[in-house]
Amino acid sequence: MDNILTNIFGYIAMALLVVSFIPKKMTVVRTINLIACTFFIVYGFLLSAWPIVISNLAVCTVQIYHLFFAKNKVSAEIAEK
C-alpha cells in the first residue's frame, strides 16, 4: 500500500509539473509549479530521496518569492513612477 501511495504522489507531481508549462500567465505557471513541487517534496520524503526534497524546497522558495514578494516589489516600483 505504501508503494501505491508513493507512486500516486509521484505521478501527480509529474503531471502538475508538465501542466505548469502550458498556461501563458506567469502567475498561473508559478502557482501550478508550486503545487507540483509540494507533491515532489512529499514524494521525496516517502522515498527518503533527499535530493528530490532539497531541490524542490529550493524551487518552492523561488516560486513563493515571486508569487508573494516580487509582485509587491514591482507594484511599488510602478506606483513610484
Q: What pLDDT, on the 0 to 100 scale, is given for residue 70?
A: 83
pLDDT of residue 1 exceeding 90: no
φ, ψ at 36 (rounded to 5°): -60, -45
pLDDT of residue 76 exceeding 70: no
For the chain, give the mean pLDDT. Answer: 89
Q: Domain residue spans in the chain?
A: 2-80
Give 21-81 as a DSSP string: TS-SSHHHHHHHHHHHHHHHHHHHHHHT-HHHHHHHHHHHHHHHIIIIIIHHHHHHHHHH-
Closest CA to 40 of 5, 14, 67: 14
pTM above threshold 0.85 = no
Read off the pLDDT of residues 31-63 as tens digits, 9 standing for 90 and up: 999 999 999 999 999 999 999 999 999 999 999
Q: For residue 20, give the 3-state DSSP assignment.
A: coil
Report d(CA 6, CA 13) in Å as an integer. 11
